[in-house]
Every structure is written in structure tokens, then in C-alpha cells.
Structure 1
Amino acid sequence: MKRKKCTAIFQWIIIALLIFIVLFPLYLVVINAFKPHADIVTNPISFPKSAFLDNFSKAWRTANFSRGFFNSIRLVVTTALIVLAASAFAGYALGTKRFTGKGLLLSYFLLAMTIPVQLFLFPLYGVFAKLDLIGNIYAVSFVIAAINMPLAVMLMRTFFVGVPMQLEESAMLDGANTRQILFQIIFPCVKPGFITVAVIVILNAWNEYLISSTFLQGERNFTATLGYLSLNGGSVTFDQGMKMAGSLIIVIPILIFFLSLQKYVVDGLTAGSVKE
């Protein structure tokens, strides 16, 4: 009994330590975003004496977040639409149909999730340069969509596996065509899957840096993440308060988005955890 109690105490200590490790950096960002640079240098872990909002206005202007957010939204929405459209049909085929090469395709998608995107940067850059697509947000969306596609396809497949095929067979007997079966019967059944995949893809696309920094050249094409780099150069390099405010500006929208849909993501992942 005493040993179990000690084990439980030790587990709670580990959990508390992990929570502290995760939340302490966020705490520093939040409190220092409202402090002038001098106060941060003096004591970075103290609460602000008053709300110093100039950091946010300076960060917004310096990083040009109005343009950056617009470009980020274009990138995120385009990427999500591409992934959802392709993964829905691919997941449906892999989850409900029997055909030659199905096992090979599943192995391909599993293998694709393990290959680092860095391997393709040089050839991709060469193709983009020849096609004059450097700085084209919509073209970059296809690259980011391709990176997220293997995981999205495998996730959607698990949802389609759980849909009773009797629904499709009954609809066919009633005279429904393929389009009606998919869009009016099958796809609505996997709505949690669409939400789950959309949230994961949007989070990945919003936080994406490597592909964006490589192909989105020119400040007019910068996303919010790339615009934040403007706070790390020139005369503003040492203004830590402005940097913290810029970080908070980028984090808050995607944090609100995730928290508002967290329930659907958890429910979706639970509903999709079906074995064949």
C-alpha cells in the first residue's frame, strides 16, 4: 500500500513537472508581451506593472501582420481544401473497396509519412523556378498539401472503414448514382473525419516555416510566420517586448481555433479508431 502511494506521488510530481515545462514558456511570452524592454531585462519573470500595449501596435506595423494574416489565410484555406478533397476520395477507395495493388498503396502512404521533406527541396525549387512559381502562394499550397496528404489519407481511411457498406448497397438498390451515394450518404457519415483532418492540416499549414521560407520569397508574399522574422532584424532586434507581443499575435488565433474545435477532434479520433 505504501509502495503504491509513493508511486502515485512520484507520478504526480512528473506530471506537474511536465506541465510546468510546457506552460512556463507561454507564461513568459504572455507577461513580457505587456512590458517594455527595460522591465523585461530587469526581471523577465515578474508581472507587468501596467499593460504596455505599445508592443502590440509596434509588432503589428513592423511585421506587417495585416498582409501576413491575409496571406496565411489564403495558404491555409487552399491547403485544407486540397487535402480534404483528395484524402476523402482516396480514403473512401482504400477503406471500402477491394482492388489490385491496394496493399501496395497503403504501404506507400505509410512510407511517405516517414520521408523528410528536406529531400525534395532542391528539385522542387528547380521546378518552381523554371515555372516561375516562386512567391506563388497557391502553388506552395500544393506542396504543403502533399506533405500532409499521407496522414490525411490514412486518417480518412479509418473513418470510412467504420461506415456500414449496407448503406451504400441500399442506396444503389434505390437507384442512387455514385455522386449521390458519396455526397448525400457516405461523406456525411464521416463528418468527424473531415473536421479532424481539417484541424490537423490547418494547424500544420499555419505553423509551417521551411516550405514557406524557401518558396515564398518577397515580403508581399510573406505569411504571418515569415512576417514575424521582421521583428528579429535591424533596429528592433533587442526589443524583446515587441517580439513577445508578435509571438502572442501569431499564437492567439490558432489557439482559439484549436480550442474551439478540440471536442470535435477528440470525438473524431475516437470515432475513427476502428479496426478492420
Structure 2
Amino acid sequence: MAVTSKKKRVASNFIIHAVLLILVFICLFPIALVVINSFKENADIVRNPLALSQVIHLENYIQAWETGKFAKGFINSVKLSGCTILIILVCSTLAGYVLSGKRIKGSGGILMYFMMAMTVPIQLFLFPLYYVYARFNLIGNIPATSMILAAVYMPLSVFLMRTFFLNVPRDLEEAARIDGANTAQVIWHVMRPVVSPGLITVGVLVGLQSWNEYLISSTFLQGEKNFTATLGFLAMNGSYGSNMSILMASAVILIAPIVIFFLCAQKYFVDGMVSGAVKG
């Protein structure tokens, strides 16, 4: 009986690992194909995109960097993502703290409002937003555009931060209040260290989404000097649509910072998601 149970467990583990390996292959194969073709000439890609290159053409990356104007694009992307993350972390932390303990009247209605806001598409507000931004001469203003992105990602961020604040024992806050701490001191010195995994999780999510964002940035960041790295890459499709080697190199340049950033923050991101899933 024990032998049969052991065989079933081995067979089950084998099937699970086989499925996982297949999924890993499906996910990584397109990325590997892009990296391989980024070092090849366009004629070699057309002839056989699956073959390895006999000669490594690093000039593809040089031309892609200069043509896509990634030096300026990465700076704009960092500005846009950084401003968005800063606004989100400040506002969602304060809102999550207030809504976690029903510290104000009507907190249930506010939560319902945020829940409904997550279902409303931003496309409904593009025209009035563009009209207002044009009137105030804010088209091409990166910090102003980050406010729109922050508003889009705010509902989910508030729900996540509220969940993390719900996991904080109420005794910590009460002890700080007894010692004479005010609300700002409670949030910064008592709550912030405890909910730091939540701050990292929200920051990673918002950072990745704002870095890859296209619709809002293409609408409000007009002019090449205001292009993010994503917009610079997409602008190359018209001029270099037939030169796949340059586009492949540009794609690697675009996704490399995202992959490196996520790999560095992966541990904190997973820890934050796990600790935030305890209580809702």
C-alpha cells in the first residue's frame, strides 16, 4: 500500500514538473527568439529566424539606441514612473490607513466608490482630460501626465494598502497613542515599517504598469522630446518596420530594465503579496 502511494506521488510530481517546464518554455521561447535575432542581420532573420547567428552584430544595438532615442526615452520613463509611484504611495498609504479601521463615517461608501472606479475605462475621460490639459498648457508635461496614471492605478493601490493595514495589530497604534504620538507619527514611525512589504508591492506593480503604459502617454506626451522609451520604440515601427534586426535589438533594450528591476524586487514583491493575502 505504501509502495503504491509512493508511486502515485512520484507520478503526480512528474506530471506537475512536466507541465511547469512546458509553461516555462512557452513563456521564455519568444524572449529567447528576440534576443537571438537581435544579433543577426535582417536577411538572416528572414532566411531562418530560429538559427543561431555565425557573426554577432552589436551594431544593431548601437543603431537601435540612437534611432529610438532611448537615452532621452529612459529618462522620461523614469520621471513618469517615479512621479506616478510617489503619488500612489503617499495617497494610497493615507487612504488605506483611514479606510482600514473605519476611522471616518461613510468608509463603506468610499470603498464602494473605489470598487466602482476600477470598472470604469479611462477611455471615457480622455477627451475631457485632453481639453483641460490643453487649456492649462499641460500637454507634454510629464509630472502632470503622471497624475492621470496615478488616478487610474489609485483604486487598486488603495485596496492593497488597506489590506496591509488590516493586518497590523490595533495594539501597536493604541500603544503609540498612549505614548503621545499624533497621527502623522503613528503612520510614519509605527505603521510604515510594518506595511513596508505592501509599499514595495504597490510600487512594483505601479512601476511596471506605468513603464509599459501607452494610451495615456501617447495622448498627453506629444513631441519626440517627451517620448518615453515605450513611445520611442513604437515610433520606430513606421521607419524600421522592414528591418527586423533593429526592431529586435530595440525590443531587448526596452524590456531589459523591466526584467532586471523585477528580478531584483521579486523577493520583496512575493513576500508582500503573500503577507497581504492573509486578511482582506
Task: Say whether the fold is shared (TM-score over 0.5).
Answer: yes
Q: In the superposition, relative to structure 1, how do residues 31 and 181 fare at CA in structure 2: closer, same or farther (>3 Å)?
A: same
Instruction: State how far apart, in whole Å, the 2-side matches of 1:33 and 1:222 are.
Output: 23
Name structure 2 gaps, 5 residues minimum: none
Instruction: State how far apart, in whole Å, the 1-side matches of 2:90 and 2:103 are.
Output: 21
Deviation string 1:120-169 (CA, Å, 9 cap, x unpaired) is 11221111112111111111100011111111100000110011111111
Amino acid at match of 2:259: L
Aligned residues with identical type, % of pairs = 52
Amino acid at match of 1:240: M
Instruction: State how far apart, in whole Å, the 1-side matches of 2:71 and 2:138 are.
Output: 23
Residues 192-207 of structure 1 aligned to structure 2 (within 5 Å): 192-207=197-212
Alignment partner of 2:269 out of 265, 268, 271:
265
Instruction: State how far apart, in whole Å, the 2-side matches of 1:231 and 1:119 are.
Output: 29
1:30–1:244: 8 Å Cα contact kept in structure 2?
yes
Amino acid at match of 2:273: L
Q: In the superposition, relative to structure 1, how do residues 185 and 12 fare at CA in structure 2: closer, same or farther (>3 Å)?
A: closer
Alignment partner of 1:91 out of 88, 96, 108:
96
Moved more, 110-119 or 81-90: 110-119
1:179 corresponds to 2:184: yes
Shift of 1:4: 8.5
Partner of 1:146: 151
1:226 corresponds to 2:228: no
Residues 94-113 of structure 1 aligned to structure 2 (within 5 Å): 94-113=99-118
1:50 corresponds to 2:55: yes
1:251 corresponds to 2:252: no
Q: Secondary structure at the match of 1:97?
A: coil
Q: Secondary structure at the match of 1:253?
A: helix
Shift of 1:27: 1.3
Instruction: State how far apart, in whole Å, the 1-side matches of 2:98 and 2:86 are.
Output: 19
Partner of 2:132: 127
Shift of 1:11: 5.3
Partner of 1:190: 195
Q: In the superposition, relative to structure 1, how do residues 165 and 232 fare at CA in structure 2: closer, same or farther (>3 Å)?
A: same
Instruction: State how far apart, in whole Å, the 1-side matches of 2:51 and 2:18 are.
Output: 25
Q: In the superposition, relative to structure 1, how do residues 60 and 164 fare at CA in structure 2: closer, same or farther (>3 Å)?
A: same
Shift of 1:230: 3.0
Shift of 1:5: 8.1
Q: Secondary structure at the match of 2:149?
A: helix
RMSD between superposed Cα atoms in Å: 1.8
Instruction: State how far apart, in whole Å, the 2-side matches of 1:12 and 1:183 are.
Output: 44
Instruction: State how far apart, in whole Å, the 2-side matches of 1:232 and 1:275 are.
Output: 46
1:75–1:137: 8 Å Cα contact kept in structure 2?
yes
Shift of 1:274: 2.6
Instruction: State how far apart, in whole Å, the 2-side matches of 1:190 and 1:13 are.
Output: 37
Instruction: State how far apart, in whole Å, the 1-side matches of 2:75 and 2:8 are.
Output: 57
Partner of 1:19: 24
Partner of 1:155: 160
Shift of 1:64: 0.5
1:62–1:230: 8 Å Cα contact kept in structure 2?
no
Shift of 1:9: 6.4
Instruction: State how far apart, in whole Å, the 2-side matches of 1:91 and 1:124 are.
Output: 26
Amino acid at match of 1:186: M
Partner of 1:65: 70
Q: Secondary structure at the match of 1:212?
A: helix
**Number of matched residues?**
275
Instruction: State how far apart, in whole Å, the 2-side matches of 1:211 and 1:10 are.
Output: 44
Amino acid at match of 1:145: A
Q: In the superposition, relative to structure 1, how do residues 12 and 175 fare at CA in structure 2: closer, same or farther (>3 Å)?
A: closer
Shift of 1:223: 0.3
